[in-house]
């Protein structure tokens, strides 16, 4: 890749290349089984760059969001850990922000309503914003009022003009996904009530680099934030970070709380983490320079491990038809000749194929029905949960293979 677009955060020309994964299929575009193989036009360049001016890590070229999210089938409620995590967050904010029946909680990218439901059940008015029609309908069916649109500054103005503002505004795993980040932040500024709290959860760039989580790089995922780069963007929209937490979810995430400048005090954890990031080198290109070669070396080891299993006559399947699975299988060239099927709990995916590599997706029960010798755990971020759910498979002699940061077997 010779030329990249200017930085989406600050406009600086030609950010530095961190990793180039080549042309890749859209990670969430689960293929219908009777369809022809994806034409090369269904694959798009996938490379990550670093802006030395504002420290923002981002993909070099984006794909039209309408194409990315039209057929989105990820259900947050498919994960028990996710639902529990959402409940604890809602309870904490109800207390901290003294929310009542006169308040309103909104969520950008509200999915099937798994988070807003916790507020709704306690009598606090909610409004979800979810662009995927199928998913928005599921939320509506469980009583969560949902606007089926992409979030934008324009939508935020229309909501405010209807008297709808947010005392708590959640943006979980969504600010990383909006290529026009300044339009989204203008929208947040518009719809947030004067003393409202913005709560952002987003994968932490430090987890990506330190734990080789390269499979979190896909076209939907435009930005890989540090607190430093995110705080810089928020400041351009008069929003100040008041608190920050590091979370284990998704392999390592940040939860950032922000409010309008002058409304709330900055907690001690903010300055601490900003200083820690500077010391760790996150603001310098050098921190990102070994990443691509480390990922390539991991690919060699994982392919070698799978080839050895096949040579020994072992049958191998995989678990978790998630976007990260698509990325790992395609980037490392691990296909249907190696993996018999991918098991997943989401019924919307059953019968489809993993994009690019075209491995069939089957219900989770297929693991026990087929008893493969080894199951490659593509959703390593839910390892504990999957292993617990699949204890019967392990009891009957099955083993999971966790691919990264270093291939390892459970048990
Ligand atoms: Zn920049």
Are 108 and 84 within one domain? Answer: yes
Residues 6 or more apart whose CB falls under 8 angstroms from that of 260 comprise 192, 194, 195, 196, 238, 239, 240
Taking 60 as the threshold, does the pLDDT of residue 70 lie above it? Answer: no
Structural domain including 385 reads: 291-410
16 lies in a domain? no
50 lies in a domain? no
- Show which of 288, 313, 335 is a domain's final residue: 288
Taking 90 as the threshold, does the pLDDT of residue 407 lie above it? Answer: yes
- Show which of 251, 271, 288 is a domain's final residue: 288
Are 126 and 275 within one domain? Answer: yes
Give the distance (Å) from ligand 1 centre to CA of residue 14: 9
367 lies in a domain? yes
The confidence score (pLDDT) of residue 86 equals: 86
Are 265 and 376 within one domain? Answer: no
Residues 358, 185: Cα–Cα separation, whole Å:
37
CATH code where residue 351 lies: 3.40.50.720
Give the distance (Å) from ligand 1 centre to CA of residue 61: 15
pLDDT per residue as tens digits for the range 212-244: 999 999 998 999 999 999 999 999 999 999 999
Are 274 and 175 within one domain? Answer: yes
Are 103 and 242 within one domain? Answer: yes
Are 246 and 308 within one domain? Answer: no
pLDDT per residue as tens digits for the range 267-313: 999 999 999 999 999 999 999 999 999 999 999 999 999 999 999 99
35 lies in a domain? no
pLDDT per residue as tens digits for the range 310-360: 999 999 999 999 999 999 999 999 999 999 999 999 998 999 999 999 999
374 bridge partner residues: 316, 399
The alpha carbon of 308 is separated from its chain's Cα centroid by a whole number of angstroms, namely 32
The confidence score (pLDDT) of residue 39 equals: 65
Residues with CB under 5 A from ligand 1 (ion): 7, 9-10, 12, 51, 53-54, 56
Are 185 and 309 within one domain? Answer: no
Taking 70 as the threshold, does the pLDDT of residue 144 lie above it? Answer: yes
The average pLDDT across 80-95 equals 86
Residues 66, 62: Cα–Cα separation, whole Å:
12
Are 130 and 277 within one domain? Answer: yes
The confidence score (pLDDT) of residue 71 equals: 54
**Strand ranges inside 239-347, DSSP E:** 239-247, 253-260, 316-319, 342-344
CATH code where residue 223 lies: 3.40.50.150
The confidence score (pLDDT) of residue 30 equals: 86
The average pLDDT across 46-71 equals 85
Give the distance (Å) from ligand 1 centre to CA of residue 46: 19
267 lies in a domain? yes
The reported pTM is: 0.89
Residues 6 or more apart whose CB falls under 8 angstroms from that of 212 comprise 291, 294, 295, 298, 404, 405
Give the distance (Å) from ligand 1 centre to CA of residue 190: 24
Write down the mean pLDDT value for the chain: 92
Domain total for the chain? Answer: 2
Are 152 and 127 within one domain? Answer: yes
Taking 70 as the threshold, does the pLDDT of residue 46 lie above it? Answer: yes
Residues 117, 240: Cα–Cα separation, whole Å:
28
The confidence score (pLDDT) of residue 78 equals: 57
Give the distance (Å) from ligand 1 centre to CA of residue 269: 24
Give the distance (Å) from ligand 1 centre to CA of residue 165: 30
Q: 249 pLDDT band (50/70/90 cuts)?
A: confident
DSSP 8-class letter at 44? E
Are 212 and 357 within one domain? Answer: no
- Show which of 238, 258, 288 is a domain's final residue: 288
328 lies in a domain? yes
DSSP 8-class letter at 7? P
Give the distance (Å) from ligand 1 centre to CA of residue 6: 8
Q: Which two tokens stand for residue 68?
A: 């990315």
Are 340 and 363 within one domain? Answer: yes
12 lies in a domain? no
Taking 50 as the threshold, does the pLDDT of residue 3 lie above it? Answer: no
The average pLDDT across 363-392 equals 96
Pairing of β 361-363 and β 105-108: unpaired
373 lies in a domain? yes
Residues 217, 205: Cα–Cα separation, whole Å:
11
pLDDT per residue as tens digits for the range 160-183: 999 999 999 999 989 998 889 999
Taking 60 as the threshold, does the pLDDT of residue 73 lie above it? Answer: no
CB atoms within 10 A of CB 111: 27
Residues 79, 346: Cα–Cα separation, whole Å:
10
CB atoms within 10 A of CB 236: 15
Are 221 and 281 within one domain? Answer: yes
Cβ atoms of 295 and 325 within 8 Å: the answer is no
Give the distance (Å) from ligand 1 centre to CA of residue 214: 21
Residues 370, 387: Cα–Cα separation, whole Å:
17
Q: Which of 254, 281, 280 is nearest to 269 (CA)?
A: 254
Q: 34 pLDDT band (50/70/90 cuts)?
A: confident
The confidence score (pLDDT) of residue 14 equals: 83
Taking 60 as the threshold, does the pLDDT of residue 2 lie above it? Answer: no
């Amino acid at each position: 890749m010779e030329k990249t677009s200017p930085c989406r955060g600050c406009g600086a020309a030609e950010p530095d290349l961190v990793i180039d994964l080549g042309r890749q299929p859209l990670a969430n575009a689960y293929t219908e089984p009777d369809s022809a193989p994806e034409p090369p036009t269904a694959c798009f360049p996938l490379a990550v760059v670093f802006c030395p001016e504002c420290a923002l890590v981002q993909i070099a070229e984006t794909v039209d969001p309408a194409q990315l999210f039209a057929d989105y089938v990820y259900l947050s409620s498919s994960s028990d850990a996710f639902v529990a995590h959402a409940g604890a967050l809602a309870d904490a904010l109800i207390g901290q922000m003294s929310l009542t029946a006169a308040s309103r909680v909104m969520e950008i990218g509200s999915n099937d309503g798994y988070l807003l439901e916790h507020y709704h059940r306690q009598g606090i008015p909610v409004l979800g914003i979810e662009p995927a029609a199928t998913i928005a309908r599921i939320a509506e069916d469980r009583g969560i009022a949902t606007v089926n649109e992409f979030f934008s500054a324009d939508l935020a103005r229309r909501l405010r003009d209807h008297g709808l503002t947010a005392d708590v505004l959640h943006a979980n795993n969504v600010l990383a996904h909006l290529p026009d980040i300044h339009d989204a932040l203008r929208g947040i500024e518009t719809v947030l009530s004067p003393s409202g709290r913005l709560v952002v959860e987003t994968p932490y760039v430090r987890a990506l680099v330190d734990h080789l989580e390269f499979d979190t790089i896909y076209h939907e995922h435009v930005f890989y934030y540090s607190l430093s780069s995110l705080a810089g963007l928020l400041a351009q929209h008069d929003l100040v970070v008041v608190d920050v937490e590091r979370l284990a979810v998704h392999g390592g995430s940040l939860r950032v709380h922000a409010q309008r400048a002058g409304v709330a005090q900055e907690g001690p954890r903010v300055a601490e983490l900003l200083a820690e990031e500077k010391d760790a080198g996150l603001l310098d290109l050098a921190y990102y320079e070994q990443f691509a070669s480390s990922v390539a070396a991991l690919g060699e080891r994982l392919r070698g491990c799978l080839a050895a299993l096949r040579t020994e006559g072992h049958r191998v399947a995989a678990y978790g038809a998630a976007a990260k699975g698509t990325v790992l299988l395609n980037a490392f060239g691990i296909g249907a000749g190696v993996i018999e099927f991918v098991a997943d709990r989401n019924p919307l995916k059953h019968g489809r194929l993993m994009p690019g590599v075209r491995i069939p997706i089957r219900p989770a029960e297929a693991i026990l029905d087929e008893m493969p010798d080894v199951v490659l755990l593509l959703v390593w971020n839910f390892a504990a949960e999957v292993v617990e759910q699949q204890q019967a498979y392990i009891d009957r002699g099955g083993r999971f293979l966790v691919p990264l940061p270093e291939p390892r077997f459970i048990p």
